[in-house]
Structure 1
Amino acid sequence: MHHTHQDMNDQCHKHHNSHSHHNNHQHHTADYKKRFWITLILTIPVLLFSSMTGELFSFAKQLQFPGVNWFLLSLCTLIFFYGGWPFLKGLKEELHRKQPGMMTLIGIAISTAYVYSSLVVFGLPGMEVFWELATLIDIMLLGHWVEMRSVMGAGQALEKLASLLPQVAHKIVQGGDVQDIILDQIKKGDHVMVKPGERIPGDGIVVSGQTTVNEAMLTGESIPILKHIGDKVLGGSVNGEGSLVIEIQMTGEDGFIARIIKLVKEAQENKSQTEEIAQYAARWLTFIAIGGGILTLIWWTVFTINGFAFALERMVAVMVITCPHALGLAVPLVVAVSTSLAASHGLLLRKRSAFEHARKIQAVVFDKTGTLTKGDFGVTDIVWFDSQYTENRLLLLAGSIEQHSEHPIAKAIAKASSKLLEVSDFKAIPGKGAEGLVNGQRVKVVSPSYLEEQHINIPQKKINHLMHSSKTVVFVLVNDVLAGAIALADVIREESKNAVRELKAMGIRCLMLTGDAAQVAKWVSDEIGLDEYYAGIQPHQKASKIKEIQKRGFIVAMAGDGINDAPALAQADIGIAIGAGTDVAIETADIILVKNNPLDVVSLIKLARASYRKMIENLIWATGYNVFAIPAAAGVLYAWDIVLSPALGAVFMSLSTVVCAVNARLLKIK
């Protein structure tokens, strides 16, 4: 164990990398929260003693005292440099990138208000705008805090994937003894024992034993696969009822799960980010604020006799009023309401940018097993060949036998029967079925291959449509006479049909990716009414298929629940995880459907579209008054003795903020 310290260092390094983005996000959220509350407390005396408050409320004039402006300046200096620091820093970064946006607009507005108000305190004729400065910083801090709280940190998808492999493997050493070793010590060529119900520790080949292996979480194959000597098995899949000895072929970076991890990582790194719509408004308002302010200053200085102090006051009014309070809340308020509304409807929004992008979805690609279907077997058809048997009688006999078997197909038949009878002399027919005595009759439930071996003819006319479908068919023999057949299939969710119908009505194309055979895929597609399907798709191919669909010009959402869906979920423009699926799918996705209902994809898109409409409405409410306010602040109506002061502009801002808040609360899922 001489390498323990190095291993621990490596693990810590990996842990640090995987959590760095998440911790950074949490740090910024906490920072905005702290700055907001401290700044808000400092703002209260600013509001009480501000000259603007005195103009609006007569009682406030009685609170004035000698040196009040110096007191306000000291408070606002703290507010400006402490509360306004994120915006001043953002202003510098945006200008460095030559991409002015919200931070630039806020930074210019608060800097102008602070510098101008400071000059007024030092003797420049005019009215300070400390009230406006403090409240503007408060509202913007609140907006960014609300916004960042709504953005979920990066998930731990890769750690979840790695955790699928067992921690310990049962290595067979010389002499046939079994020794438990940690997974990292397994090497290519080692023989390991896998007990019933355990996860297989690595990709390999069966060298001893026979069992069914559940690969649904890895490959999407809904039916547990019978494995014999010489068959390949995948690390992370679940062993069924028998013990296996496998020879390890691939470990570490070469293994199946490691390749999936690589695909997820690549897809996540390549995912594009959407830009907030408020940034566009902020960018234009920045140009208007700077341009309008400069033109106002030049006009009143050069072409009028009102003097520089008046011209400077007009310029400040324009530049401060151009940055509306409500703009900082227009989008975050809708985001907060939509996030809460979505959660109450079973939609968890992990990435807001993806949610905003969801309104543009043109194609939804569904995984089959566990998403469109329930992921477990159900009886779909019962056919009897002898008139003395009915559907219920056949199911009763078959279910009574199968209640003693652990095979998924047997469990489905037993579950479908309303009651079960006593069975004696139960025997398994290896690889073919089971038999026993029920009320003195020898009942067998067997596969088609058993009938072939026993040269028992199948009534083709009655059974042909089932034998050539995607369904699994078993036969029931009573006293060695063929009595009937039972067909089973992965049960399609009723909600799937409605979801596809509604999506198509919205003009969205519906597709399916599955690891199942073409017959299975066609049957599901026909039943649900899909536009397209892709069958026999391996996990490493799913992300490529998403890329192909994207290259056709579609904005693609992928909905899935398995580990095999993780790369595709990451590659899609919007990844949607079915909530009952694996942690890996959930951590890789942008949006999670808690209720495991495909109809929630419809609700998601409707909510995204409604949220976007509310954002646009709020941006109009937040900035619309500028059509009147900016010219009035610049002095266009001065000839009629109408001049909009920063104080009156603040009243308009407050009203628009209230309207935005009320409008956001009216958001609903139709």
Structure 2
Amino acid sequence: MTASPSTPGTPLRYFVERMDCADCARTVQSALTRLPGVGDPRVNFTTQTLSLTLDETQLPREKLEHTLRSLGYPPVLENAPAAPAAQTLRYFVNNMDCADCANKVQGVVSRLPGAGEPKVSFTTQTLSLTLDETKTSRAQLEQTLRSIGYPPDLQEDAQATPGTPSAPRPARVELPWHQTSKGRNVLLTGALFALAFVLSLVAPSFAFYAYAAATLIGVWPLLLKAVASTRLGEPFTINTLISVAAIGAVAIGEAAEGALVVFLFAIGELLENVAAGRARAGIQALAALAPKTALLLSGTQTQEVPVESLQVGQLVRVQPGGRVPADGTITEGNSNLDDSPVTGESVPVHKSTGDQVYAGSINTDGVLTVRVDRGASDNTIARIIHLVEEAESSKAPTARFLDRFSRWYTPAAMAVAFLFAVIPPLLFGQDWNEWIYKGVALLLIACPCALVLSVPAAVTSGISAGARQGLLIKGGAALETIGSVNTIAFDKTGTLTENKPQVTDVIPLSASEQDVVTLAAAVETGSAHPLAKAILDRAKGQTILTAENARAIPGKAVTATVGGRTLAVGSPRYAQELAPVAPDVLGRIEVLEHQGKTVVVLLDGAAPLGLLAIRDEPRAHAKAAIAKLTALGVRSVMLTGDNARTGHAIAGDLGLDVEAELMPEDKLRRIAELKRSGKVAMVGDGINDAPALAQSDVGIAMGGGTDVALETADAALLRHSVMGVSDLVQLSRAVMTNIRQNVTFALGLKAIFLVTTLLGITGLWPAILSDTGATVLVTANALRLLRFRPS
């Protein structure tokens, strides 16, 4: 090979022939690290590539290449592309329909050079990643997945950024069990076992050979996957254990049991696949809720268009009986909408102009005109599906522990099985066949499938069940934590209350009642604060002057110049800071605040012109929700920036503790203090709640809240009901109970069969039945969560 001149520290990349196994890669790596001038050598036997920097003043490139050839690995220099070829890909992965499959795919793909942030979901059977094709080509990635038994199909939105919602696709049709790869495997291994059984009756002398052939033919696909996984850095898989056990059974003359082991394993995988399909069906049904077409308004005419083509700001018509095609806002009409498919709301909700609607909701009567607020890839349904996918990559602490545990448990179990097979015969003169038989049985008992599956199956089912109830949870970690919180802190406005305050009293002091209303409305013009909206609603139909130089003093007041006067609408505390307020005025304020009303003062400079009392009624089920949390052993506290009297009036009615007159930084401080005595959740809906949502152990956003709150929170309530908070706690506790049951099933069955195997009571087929049975039992138990209904 002729080398061209190279400068010191030149980056080089080679394709290395015959470097196609881990041992080859270690040989090359070890040899290169000893050579002078070679920097940062990186080898990959999957892609058979070598990358390094070379200082040719110390080592000529010809000598480097000669060294590789002498080791038996001829190198071919690759030309580096002019620019990186990183791209984002999303695949549907066939056969990746269980947690163990997803873990295997995640482990293998994460080892490929250039594969960034792989995210897998066995519920939706998807793989999302970024791929630098200068390191691993798309063809190599797809071939790697096929080699371990998971053929990928590139999805149409291949360039969508991983981690962002994508428009729901038509659900893939679930094939009948006998048409799936696992179903065909059951039929093949079952037919081989039956044929061997018949031959054993007809020609007993050939029975062993018949069963051996059935075993080896049945285990061959598993052996290929085991070899491929081992080459890709995942040696301790279920395929490895079953392959070793089946071949070992034939080697010691127990071919009949080996064939039965392969057949039972195939049945177990099929049953697990069928059970997991039920969880997928729920998500696929959710994706099918969104209509495929919409009636786009163009002037007075309507045109039927695909939902994916809708743009934010366009108007669509929703006829009675039709489904809302996109998340949006009603601009004309009123109707009852059945939100139950999306939010879990039990009865239709009456909505009119200005109200928000969800894609997939059913319009029961009136004709509606809706402005599109979110595209198909960002609507509520797409977000729910995305959250379910993300939930599997955001693992619960228990799942992370079990993953770490299984990494050393499986190889340790294989080592123990090997020791049991050889030590008694070697040291104590025991029968080789007997103890090898027991060692093979221990291998089967060691399979960690049920244990590894116990957490993700429960978490995925729990999150899917929550989504059906309008409870969106952003991952297993959040789901696990919610049920263990000691204290839940609530914001008041928009969370415990309806966030639709109304002016109940106008008390003029040195201006007329009409002037108090119109001047206060002028100051508040343009503000989105709920109290400002209440004042503006009260002033509707009246002439409002133009305000200038408007600015907000956070937590205190809004000021503006109106008709040459510097006016402010602020809290009584702010008015007191400017100048002493007359005792009779303070008395009136106190009476109104004892009634649970928020009082604001209209000020001209420091002189009060009048008082406006505003009340925001508690949500319908807030009191019941607080009582339910108390019954669950969770303390509730209200953190509000409102005055103490208003806070105590509302808190007293609802039955929870209160801390009032808090600035946003005060809420952060109180959350930190509450965390010292246990885990804390925060429930809020506004921008000012976002820091507290992030500070708490679990942040919960109300569904009508701001995007900032929804993005910061760990969970969100689509229903505008505080009852969703107690539902979240119940769901979390149900999931954790389910996980404990699953772990008990998985470990308990293994412990029982471990003892019975060592005592010689049970053999190979009960051992595989223990793992298969535990896996099916764990999956079926987790699927019970799909029927979760809060009490």
> TM-score, normalised to structure 2's length?
0.48
Distance of aligned partners of 1:607 and 1:57 in 2 relative to their CA distance in 1, 3 Å threshold:
farther
Report the residue type matching 1:472 in the other structure.
V
Q: Which amino acid aligns with 1:598?
A: V
Mapped to 2, the partners of 1:275 and 1:598 lie a distance apart of 28
Pair 1:357 & 2:453 matched: no
Does the Cα contact within 8 Å between 1:301 and 1:311 map onto a contact in 2?
A: no
Matched ranges for 1:415-564 at <5 A: 426=543, 428=545, 465-466=591-592, 471-472=598-599, 487-533=613-659, 535-539=661-665, 542-550=667-675, 552-564=676-688
**Where does 1:566-581 land on structure 2 (aligned, <5 Å)?**
566-581=690-705
Kindly provide the CA deviation profile for residues 323-370 of structure 1, in whole angstroms up to 9, marking residues without a partner as x.
Answer: 264334333332232122211211011111110122211111222332
Matched residues in 1 for 2:644 and 2:612: separation?
21
> Matched residue pairs, number?
476
Question: CA, structure 1 residues 403+372, in 2 after alignment: closer, same or farther (shift >3 Å)?
Answer: same
- Picking from 76, 87, 94, the partner of 2:222 is 76
Which residue number in structure 2 is paired with residue 113 of structure 1?
242
**What's 1:203 paired with?**
none
- Find the aligned partners of 1:371 and 1:274 in 2 and give their Cα distance: 29
C-alpha change, 1:526 and 1:429, in structure 2 (3 Å) is: farther
Which region of structure 1 is more displaced relative to structure 2, 608-617 or 327-336? Answer: 327-336
Secondary structure at the aligned position of 2:621 is classed as helix
1:243-642, aligned counterparts within 5 Å? 274-276=397-399, 278-279=402-403, 282=406, 286=410, 290-291=415-416, 294-295=419-420, 297-299=422-424, 302-303=427-428, 305=430, 307-323=431-447, 325-380=449-504, 412=534, 426=543, 428=545, 465-466=591-592, 471-472=598-599, 487-533=613-659, 535-539=661-665, 542-550=667-675, 552-634=676-758, 636=759, 638=760, 642=761
Task: Deviation per CA, 1:589-612: give whole Å up to 9, x if none.
Answer: 211111132221111001111111
2:254 matches 1:126: yes
Indicate if the aligned counterparts of 2:693 and 2:700 stay in contact, CA closer than 8 A: yes
Letter in 1 for 2:767: G
Answer 1 or 2: which has greater helix percent. Answer: 1
Deviation, structure 1 residue 73: 4.9
Structure 1 segments unaligned to the other structure (5+ residues): 1-8, 14-19, 92-106, 152-270, 386-393, 435-445, 450-454, 476-481
Q: Is the 8 A contact 1:110 1:137 kept in 2?
A: no
* Amino acid aligned to 2:244: V
Q: Using the alignment, how far apart are the partners of 1:313 and 1:493 within structure 2?
A: 67
CA deviation after TM superposition for structure 1 residue 317, in Å? 0.6
Q: Aligned AA for 2:223?
A: T
Q: What is the CA-CA distance between 1:412 and the residue it aligns to?
A: 3.3
Deviation at 1:299, TM superposition (A): 3.3
Letter in 2 for 1:644: G
For residue 498 of structure 2, give the secondary structure of its aligned residue in structure 1: strand
Please tell me the residue identity of whatever aligns with 1:581: G
The CA deviation at 1:534 is 5.4
Farther-moved stretch of structure 1 (330-339 vs 360-369): 330-339
Within 2, Cα distance between the matches of 1:148 and 1:23?
23
In structure 1, distance between residues paired with 2:414 and 2:192: 25
Output the amino acid matched with 1:549.
L
What is the match of residue 160 of structure 2?
none
Shift in alpha-carbon separation, 1:409–1:359, aligned structure 2, 3 A: closer
Deviation at 1:54, TM superposition (A): 1.8
* 8 Å CA contact 2:498, 2:617 repeated in 1: yes
CA deviations 1:248-292 (Å, max 9, x no partner) are xxxxxxxxxxxxxxxxxxxxxxx9972327558858965666546
The 3-state SS of whatever aligns with 1:337 is helix
Secondary structure (helix, strand or coil) at the match of 1:592 reads strand
Deviation of residue 297 (structure 1)?
Answer: 4.4
- The structure 2 residue matched to 1:651, chosen from 754, 758, 769, is 769
CA contact (8 A) 2:272 2:779 kept: no
- Identity over aligned pairs, percent: 26
The structural deviation recorded for 1:147 is 11
- Deviation readout 1:565-618 (Å, 9 max, x if unpaired): 223322322121111112222122211111132221111001111111112222
Q: Distance in 1 between matches of 2:196 and 2:679?
A: 55
8 Å contact 1:46–1:130 — kept in the other structure? no
Secondary structure of the corresponding residue to residue 510 of structure 1:
strand
Alignment deviations for residues 82-131 of structure 1 (CA, whole Å, 9 cap, x no partner): 5x569x8467xxxxxxxxxxxxxxx265434323434566x553334544
Letter in 1 for 2:118: N
For 1:54, give the aligned amino acid: F
Aligned to 2:118: 24
Cα distance in 1 between the residues matched to 2:234 and 2:644 = 54
Distance 1:322 1:447 in 2: 68
Q: Structure 1 residues 467 and 322 mapped into 2: Cα distance closer, same or farther (>3 Å)?
A: closer
Change (3 A) 1:535 1:300: farther
Distance in 1 between the 2:408 and 2:471 partners?
34
Structure 2 distance, partners of 1:583, 1:447, is 27
What is the alpha-carbon distance in structure 2 between the residues aligned to residue 291 and residue 576 of structure 1? 47
Show CA shifts across 1:48-95 (max 9, x none): 45489626995798996996555445422223245x569x8467xxxx
Looking at structure 2, the residues matched to 108 and 136 of structure 1 have their Cα atoms a distance apart, in angstroms, of: 16
C-alpha distance in 1 between matches for 2:683 and 2:729: 13
Aligned to 1:229: none
Q: Which has the higher mean CA deviation after the structures are superposed, 109-118 or 577-586? A: 109-118
**SS of the residue 2:752 aligns to:** helix
Q: State whether residues 47 and 131 of structure 1, in contact with CA within 8 Å, keep that contact through their aligned partners in structure 2.
A: yes
Return 5+ residue gaps in structure 2 as ranges: 1-82, 88-113, 129-144, 153-178, 203-208, 284-393, 548-558, 563-569, 576-580, 603-608
CA RMSD of aligned residues (A): 5.5
Q: CA deviation at 1:31?
A: 4.8
Distance 2:467 2:649 in 1: 34
Is 1:664 aligned to 2:664, yes or no? no
1:45, 1:273 → 2: CA distance? Answer: 34
Instruction: After superposing the two structures, state which structure 1 stretch, 332-341 or 321-330, moved more.
Output: 321-330
Kindly provide the CA deviation profile for residues 541-584 of structure 1, in whole angstroms up to 9, marking residues without a partner as x.
5444433322x231111212223322332232212111111222
SS in 1 for 2:397: coil
1:294 alignment partner AA: L
Q: Retained in 1: the 8 A contact 2:265–2:772? A: no
- For residue 615 of structure 2, give the secondary structure of its aligned residue in structure 1: strand
Partner of 1:17: none
Structure 1 54/378 Cα, relative in aligned 2: closer, same or farther at 3 Å?
Answer: same
Alpha-carbon distance in structure 2 between the residues aligned to 1:344 and 1:395: 49
In 2, Cα distance between equivalents of 1:463 and 1:48: 81
SS across alignment from 1:507:
coil
Shift of residue 319, structure 1, vs aligned partner? 2.0
Matched residues in 1 for 2:514 and 2:242: separation?
Answer: 83
Task: Answer whether contact 2:738 2:782 (CA < 8 A) is retained.
Answer: yes
Whichever residue aligns with residue 341 of structure 1, its letter is: A
Larger relative contact order, structure 1 or 2 (CA cutoff 8 Å, min sep 6): 1
For the residue of structure 1 that corresponds to 2:398, the secondary structure is coil
Query: Given the alignment of the two structures, is residue 54 of structure 1 paired with residue 193 of structure 2, yes or no?
Result: yes
Over 3 Å counting, the alpha-carbon distance change for 1:574 and 1:381 in structure 2 is same
